[in-house]
Amino acid sequence: MEFNENFVYGCSAIGAGLAVIAGIGPGVGQGIAAGHGASAVGRNPGAKGDIMSTMLLGQAVAETTGLYGLLVAMLLMFVKPFV
């Protein structure tokens, strides 16, 4: 079977779509972090500033894996390494 350029384009697009499924993990993780942050503020409203900054830092670190997926999708769509 012969693979022409359009076939590779199509497969790259499918791969890009599959790669952004990586966004599920960070979504769940950030939600858990935000929920625990909210309950921590509820228990100790005085420490709101510290809780906020710690939560945002943790969420941004957790976001990295999702961004790797996004990066792979963007490379597949715009840089087209396999064509």
Partner 1 sequence: MVHGLVEYSFFGHTVYLTTTHVSILMVMLILMVFSVIAGNGFKKALREEKFAPTNGFMNGVELLTEFLMNTVKGGMGKSAPVFFNYIATLFCFILLSNISGLLGLRPPTADYGVTLPLALITFTIIHYSEVRFSKPKQLWADKCSPLPPWLPIWLPINIISDIAVPISLSLRLFANVLSGTVMMALIYGLLGWIATGWPAALHVYFDLFSGAIQTYVFCMLTMTYISSARGDN
What does the binding site for partner 1 look like in residue numbers (CB under 8 A)? 53, 56-57, 60-61, 63-64, 67-68, 70-71, 74, 78
Q: How far is the CB of 19 from partner 1 (least distance, A)?
A: 12
| DSSP letter, residue 45 | G
- Contact between residue 26 and residue 65 where contact means Cβ atoms under 8 Å apart: yes
- Contact between residue 44 and residue 54 where contact means Cβ atoms under 8 Å apart: no
- Contact between residue 49 and residue 37 where contact means Cβ atoms under 8 Å apart: no
Quick one: 7 or 60, whose CB is closer to partner 1?
A: 60
> Per the structure block, which two tokens stand in for 38?
């909210």
Q: How far is the CB of 61 from partner 1 (least distance, A)?
A: 7
Q: How far is the CB of 1 from partner 1 (least distance, A)?
A: 34
Quick one: 38 or 60, whose CB is closer to partner 1?
A: 60
